Amino acid sequence: MKFSNFLFPHSAKPEDDFEAVTQALEEAVLTEELGFDAVWLGEHHIDGACAYVDPITFAGAVAARTKTVQIGFAAVQMALHHPTRLAEQVSLLDNLSRGRMILGIGRGTAFNFYEYRAYGIPFSEAQGRLIESEEILIKAWTTDNYKHEGEHFNIEIPALRPQVYTKPHPQMIRAVATEASMVSMGEQGRPFMLVVQPDDETARRFGVYKTTMTESGYDDEAIEKNMEQCWIWRNIFLAETDEEAEKIGVPAFVESREHIAKTRDKLNTAEEMSSVSRGLADPRFGVEHALIYGSPDTVSERIARLEKLGMGGIILHFRVGPLSWEDNENSLRLFADRVMPNFR
């Protein structure tokens, strides 16, 4: 199983942004030093939930400061990006990192309508832009004299420069939340990243995914290969004891959720909030399902249960909410020293 650190630094106030961004870059360097397989970068705008905001620019800094760790996006909000521009940017990053990029893309947030308004993109177009952009990205990297005429984009590219370092193109993976999206990935024979779900629901979803692949004509070898490229996401905090982890980690996680909820109440319209209120109450966003916390032994037991599901890796968000650098570093080191060796 592969282990990775999701760099998603919380910044409650604008005056905290510099420290959050700077420490996130140092955390990327530390993550590589501790032997993690990958760092993942997210994307959110306006609200301080992800202080560096732009994962593409931030990935360039991470690539310059690291040598071996993979760098993934979890995920680029495709509705907010022009596919030709993104294809060029990822190609450049692929060269700078010498093939360490994983392009994770998704439709975009289902709850932060203010992000779409900031970019002048109607929320109703988000899914269509995602589907169309996926095709454009791959063709832009692999096809000369490429022309595309679609609902959202009309594009003509003689040859994309720079060429990608990874042939035929960098790994691309879809972030999914709904079962329908996951089933679609199974039908297409594609791996995916799954957002936070209860452990038993995660197990059920992977069962549905493998069944879908079988029914779509894929053999056991293809299913196993795909499973090895799938990732799941969890928040995490470790301390020497369960009691200490609960005392420090749980309030930090709760504060991060409250910050996000208050920002949505403030920046979304009443109509927009009413359309998603049921989703926001989903229990998968609560501590029980979304946060793994405890001593190294307790966390190892939880990871062992997830390992049995057979996916390739876990995207672990260590620095939840307003955790101090010291508490976060201690959590990372405990995981690297006393949890990861149990699964190597």
Q: Of 267, 319, 325, nearest to 8 (Cα)?
A: 319
Report the amino acid identity of residue 250.
V
Mean pLDDT in order along the chain per 10 residues (344 residues): 97 97 98 98 96 98 98 97 98 98 94 96 96 98 98 98 97 95 97 94 96 98 97 97 98 94 93 75 76 98 96 97 97 98 94
**CA gap 129, 152 in Å, rounded:** 6
Q: Where are the domains of the chain?
A: 2-343
pLDDT at 280: 55
pLDDT at 110: 85
Q: What is the pTM of this model?
A: 0.96
Q: For domain 2-343, which architecture applies?
A: Alpha-Beta Barrel (3.20)
* Alpha-carbon dihedral sign for residues 260, 266, 268, 272: positive
Q: Kindly write down the DSSP assignment for every residue of 180-198, as one continuous string.
A: HHHHHHHHHT--EEE----
118: which 2 tokens?
Answer: 């900031």
Number of C-beta neighbours around residue 15 at 10 A: 8
Q: Of 148, 151, 190, 156, nearest to 171 (Cα)?
A: 190
Q: Of 264, 263, 250, 245, nearest to 12 (Cα)?
A: 263
